[in-house]
A and B are shown apart, each in its own frame.
Chain A
Amino acid sequence: MEATAHAASGGTEVHASAPRRSWLFTRPTAKTGIVSWLTTVDHKRIGLLYGISALFFFLVGGFEALLIRIQLAVPNNTFLAHQTYNEMFTMHATTMIFLAIMPLSAAFFNYVMPLQIGARDVAFPRLNGFAFWVFLVGAIILNIGWFVKSGAPDAGWFGYAPLTNKTYSDQFPGDMSTDLWIMGLQILGVSSVIGSLNFIVTIINLRAPGMTMMRLPTFTWMTLFTAFLIILSFPAITIALVELMMDRYFGTSFFEAANGGLPILWQHLFWIFGHPEVYILILPAFGIISEILPTFSRKPLFGYPVVVFSGAVIGFLGFGVWSHHMFTTGMGTVATAAFSLMTMAIAVPTGVKIFNWIGTLWGGHLQMRTPMMFALGFIWMFMIGGFSGVMHAAAPADAQQQDSYFVVAHFHYVLIGGSLFALLAGIHYWFPLIFGRKVSEFWGKLSFWIIFIGFNVTFFPMHFLGLNGMPRRTAVYDGNMGWNDANLVSTIGAFILGIGIAVYFIVMVRTYLKGEKVRRDPWDARTQEWSLPTPPPEHNYDVIPTIHARDAFWYEKTHKAEIAREKAEHAREETAHGGIHMPSQSWFPLLAATGLLIGAIFFVNHHYEGAIAGGLLFVFGVYCWASEGPGGYHVHPGDHDDKDAPKY
């Protein structure tokens, strides 16, 4: 479906003129308004959709956390019923992992990665839109429970058998809370795998000329590793969930101990996914930090190849350490020792990265801007989480810490102090690129300090709570256990953290509306995405850049004449081919995802006719998607305002 007519000069876009196309296949062309967002295939818009949804669910998950902390503030509290408490900790964890941190990482993958490699979009733009809509379907399914009689899922985020079987999880016949959890996670898995396949192909196949693999920005490298981890680890949980679903719906006994099933198998399958998932959450953070530190240290990243390869080693070893979540299940001494050693080994590449970041800072001309504050906070806090992680690796110590608040302290240090700090740093860092405005340093740093203090006040006491024997997931504790003070401090900290997050987001919204406008490249950064105007035009690059060095934009800034010559030549070539080819928007990714939503809702309610109808709508959506073809239209650069373009 190439556009046959070329734009007359002055016209911005020419759409494929397909005579006698039925209304069904008329491509939407809206560039503003709700339709433009529902049908978008632009990786930047999809990135924003991911980001906004993720932040919404982040606030939901945070609200659940505050309710948990209120319940635990004083002994023998009756603020939440036990059942509600179970729903809270299950949904807090599930929401934060699958609906906040992962999609927020996906938002950066979508928005930043194609810009960094000098591409105009991902390899399969409609599939990218589909991945987002499927994510939203999974998020809706997971959260429907709040609004129905069954209640939200309540079996814990890792859903250990036999808690998930009908005897234990169903409060009444037809209780669908666990079914919602199973279905929601399966759908989210589909979304993650589809998105990741797209990223893998994009990074390998859509790099700009000269962008060799060893010139890829570190964030793009970490995107690639994360994508591989996702496609290789999600199948394990998907199959485990399928087996659980067969148990609950069709009478198999995979995890039914009464009929000879092995509940321990669920633990193995879950953690074969669950441990790589930990690295799925943290590797994007490593990538973001590895972009921010060089920019604000005014130095190239120290030991780039080592940073890249240690990321690969972490991803590889991440598949061999799952049983350290199961040291107390009685696996036998050999297995325990082996997994213990592997777990300690994985600290080595992680430590290597820390030293690389210190090396980057060392002797640098440090600029203490807000993203840098979060990045430095990340290094420190993530290290604390890493140290307690190494303590868990020692199996005898872990036998004491297992299922205690020490574990809760550990994983919040790596997830908030690690992943979340880096993602908040990334939002500050790329905000000027995305919206053309910059957060005020005062308010940015203020929010950082409140978050930093609140975070430590909340979670540091949990180490002691855990060592004093407080079990995790406990809704009520007695006043004479010696846990009162630490719990109260922790709750106060949680509210400080909440205020910090509130300040952070209020400042973001205010900046979006009224913040200081910035010109291109406000941080004097090093990677290719900063060569774009803020915000970037729909087609990203007027001229696909040629990459000459690892810090591609830095090279561009220091070799202006050479780059200008190249660009003029490439622009001529592209014009000769009819301008910039852009993918057309489409309704069908949304339609197919809607079919999935309808089918899934009927399925969890055991209405199989409705489930089949939803499935048919899905198939119809995919069929139309295939039939309409990739489509496309041409854009001619130079039509958009690019007033602050660098003068070569």
Chain B
Amino acid sequence: MSTHAATSAIDHHHDPATTTGIPSKKLFMWAFLASDCMFFGTLISTHLIYRLHPTPGSPDPRKLFSLDLTLFATLVLLVSSLLMALAVNACQKNNIRSVRRLLLGTIVFGLVFIMCQIFEYGNFLHEGLTLSSSIFGSTFYTLTGTHGCHVAIGVLWLTLMYIRTFKPADERPWVLRSLGHFLVFLVVVVAGVTSVLGAAHAIEAHGLAAGPLAQAGRHNLVAIIVTLAGLAALCWLGRARKAVDFTESNAIDVESLGLYWHFIDIVWIVIFTVVYLLEYL
């Protein structure tokens, strides 16, 4: 609807084409988040209800949890929210180079969070906690898994937004190139996560010893090479371009993404409190 907004200076908090002045995308996102609150509300309630009705054979969560790891993941997600907020701010100031860097930072922190979750799941599975081992397993994996999916969708969206910042201003065909860019990104993420998790498991098992680490490196050699090659490709794809069709008028898109990202951060704080910390009271 913003037919002639581009001619005047952009006011990021007011869209003259709408009745309330609130950009429609932002309103949509707020309404969606209200709905999403109810999704997580239902899941968290389920977990809390079954916490009061434990089944025989339920594990003691305190013996299972590794608070250090979860606290680290929580802090990582909190910092990612800071980067996200800075990215929105940079976009409103039309500083696209900063937007790219901050989006990449948010992506990396989001990925670290996901890796912590995968690592944690691996440990729990090792301890014998599965979806069907007890009702605790059912509610724990469903709740944190749904949150993890939200984070993964957020990372996907961040990645697409990052790639979107390279759309050329002229009408050159771009879709195939963007798709290629995305595929490289995907490969780097998968290979990178594999490599880092391999290293993490080696460190967990043997401490920071050179020998086992090197062995884990050899074991994941392909993944490491692919990661490095992919990173080089990403650097090449992400080199400075001529004029791009991504300006402060796109700040509302980044802001909507930011709202989503902050929301899953807040949800995690609730989950961290009622699923983890509550067990230590």
Contact = CB atoms under 8 A, between A and B. Distances in A.
Binding site of A, secondary structure by majority: helix, strand, loop or mixed? helix
B42 interface: yes
A282 to B, nearest CB: 21
Residue of B31, B55, B172 most packed against chain A (CB within 10 A) = B31
Nearest to B145: A246
Contact of B18 (A2, A20, A206, A581): A206
A262 B38 CA distance: 21
Contacts of B137: 252
B42 A204 contact: no
B257 to A, nearest CB: 12
Given A22-B175, A205-B24, A252-B138, A265 B34 contact: no
Nearest to A261: B135
Contact of B38 (A207, A236, A626): A236
Nearest to B156: A619
B142 interface: yes
Binding site secondary structure of chain B: helix
A67 interface: no
A442 interface: no
Contacts of A242: 142, 146
Interface in A146-201: 193, 197-198, 200-201
Given A240-B42, A254-B46, 16 more contacts: A20-B172, A124-B24, A205-B18, A205-B22, A206-B24, A207-B19, A211-B19, A231-B32, A238-B39, A246-B131, A252-B132, A252-B137, A254-B138, A260-B54, A261-B138, A262-B49
B35 A232 contact: yes
Interface string B42-58: 11001001100111100
B13 to A, nearest CB: 14
Interface of B: 1, 3-4, 18-20, 22, 24, 27-28, 31-32, 34-36, 38-39, 41-43, 46, 49-50, 53-56, 130-132, 134-135, 137-139, 141-142, 146, 160, 171-173, 175, 178-179
A265 B175 CA distance: 47
Given A2-B3, A204-B20, A251 B36 contact: no
A235 B42 CA distance: 8
Contacts of A20: 171-173
A-B interface, 6 closest residue pairs, ranked by CB to CB distance from nearest: A260-B55, A251-B132, A235-B38, A252-B138, A239-B42, A231-B35
B144 to A, nearest CB: 13
Contacts of B53: 260, 262
Contacts of A207: 19
A267 to B, nearest CB: 13
B251 to A, nearest CB: 17
Contacts of A239: 39, 42-43, 46
Given A231-B31, A250-B131, A251-B131, A18 B171 contact: yes
Contact of B35 (A235, A577, A627): A235
A332 interface: no
A197 B28 contact: yes
Nearest to B245: A629
Interface of A: 2, 18-22, 24-25, 123-124, 193, 197-198, 200-201, 204-207, 211, 231-236, 238-240, 242-243, 246, 250-254, 259-262, 265, 269, 272, 577-578, 581, 623-624, 626-627
A572 to B, nearest CB: 15
A260 B135 contact: yes
B131 A232 contact: no
Contacts of A626: 160
Given A207-B19, A251-B132, A201 B28 contact: yes
B50 A627 contact: no
A259 B134 CA distance: 8
Contact of A201 (B27, B38, B54): B27
Contacts of B46: 239, 243, 254, 265, 269
A205 B27 contact: yes
A19 B172 CA distance: 9
A259 B135 contact: yes
Contacts of A261: 135, 138
B64 to A, nearest CB: 17
Interface centre among B22, B27, B28, B43 (most CB of A within 10 A): B28
A246 B175 contact: no
A201 B24 contact: yes
B148 to A, nearest CB: 14
B138 A246 contact: yes
Contacts of A250: 131-132
A581 B131 contact: no
Nearest to A249: B131
Nearest to A632: B3
Given A123-B24, A251-B132, A262-B49, A206 B35 contact: no
Nearest to B15: A205
A211 B179 CA distance: 44
28 contacts: A22-B173, A193-B35, A200-B31, A201-B27, A201-B31, A204-B20, A205-B22, A207-B19, A231-B32, A231-B35, A232-B34, A242-B142, A243-B46, A250-B132, A251-B130, A251-B132, A252-B142, A254-B46, A259-B55, A259-B132, A260-B53, A260-B54, A261-B138, A262-B53, A265-B49, A269-B42, A624-B175, A626-B160
